[in-house]
Chain A
């Protein structure tokens, strides 16, 4: 069964450093998303991406964040200068259509020290 894959599974970084989280969405899906979940809190929408551009972003997704689809398969989330409060699980998801089900990857646990 097709699945969303994310790498790395765990990323440890120092405050102020840049991190790139990687995702390979399901191959026939056209819509891509990043969500995050701080420990013990709910899953929060960060950004959606379609046709090589951001289609929607939340207030969390400020100038420190960016997304890119550098080739035909990968979808990345970059955090330019990490803060302690960026520590969370980051989930990539994809869907066939924007109103349809999102399928989630296993997530990347980001720990900012």
Chain B
């Protein structure tokens, strides 16, 4: 079983819509969860982190964590063409906080 899984996409949404990105992870003991955005040829850019079950909102972004289901998601409200990028889910290993494991990413395309 892969450690961090994401749908590769591409996920296409119209401008102004809500984009929903999903991620599952295999290490039940994982404690820290991150969403990054990566534009082509660029480095990962932190969107938000989440550490406890429930929702966390930051502007147009909402992260949702369900440790029992080993599931973390990212909602992007009022999607803009500039949100078109690959979204990376990252999770700390249950054996080491030092090791953050990245998923393969979901490609998002926001259509004007």
Interface range, A side: 20 to 34
Is there contact, CB below 8 Å, between A91 and B103?
no
Is there contact, CB below 8 Å, between A102 and B34?
yes
Instruction: Determine whether B55 belongs to the interface, using a CB cutoff of 8 Å to chain A.
Output: no
Select A44's contact among B32, B45, B51, B102, beta carbons within 8 Å: B102
Least Cβ distance of B74 to chain A in Å? 14
Given contacts A42-B102, A43-B88, A43-B102, contact A98 B43 (CB under 8 A): no
Most chain-B CB neighbours within 10 Å: which of A31, A48, A58, A91? A48
Instruction: Determine whether A104 belongs to the interface, using a CB cutoff of 8 Å to chain B.
Output: yes
Residues of B within 8 A of A56 (CB): 96, 98-99
Is there contact, CB below 8 Å, between A99 and B32?
yes
Instruction: Determine whether B18 belongs to the interface, using a CB cutoff of 8 Å to chain A.
Output: no
Chain B residues 68-112 with CB under 8 Å of chain A are 88, 90, 92, 96-105
Least Cβ distance of B91 to chain A in Å? 11
Given contacts A42-B103, A42-B104, A44-B102, contact A101 B46 (CB under 8 A): yes
Instruction: Determine whether A103 belongs to the interface, using a CB cutoff of 8 Å to chain B.
Output: yes
Which residues of A approach B to under 8 Å, CB–CB?
A: 31, 33, 35, 41-45, 48, 50, 55-56, 58, 89, 91, 98-107
Closest 5 CB pairs of A and B: A48-B98, A56-B98, A43-B102, A98-B97, A99-B97
Sample (30) of A-B pairs whose CB atoms are under 8 Å apart? A31-B98, A33-B98, A33-B100, A35-B102, A41-B104, A42-B103, A42-B104, A42-B105, A43-B88, A43-B90, A44-B102, A45-B100, A45-B102, A55-B96, A55-B98, A56-B96, A56-B99, A58-B99, A98-B97, A99-B31, A99-B51, A101-B34, A101-B46, A102-B34, A102-B46, A102-B100, A103-B46, A104-B44, A106-B42, A106-B43
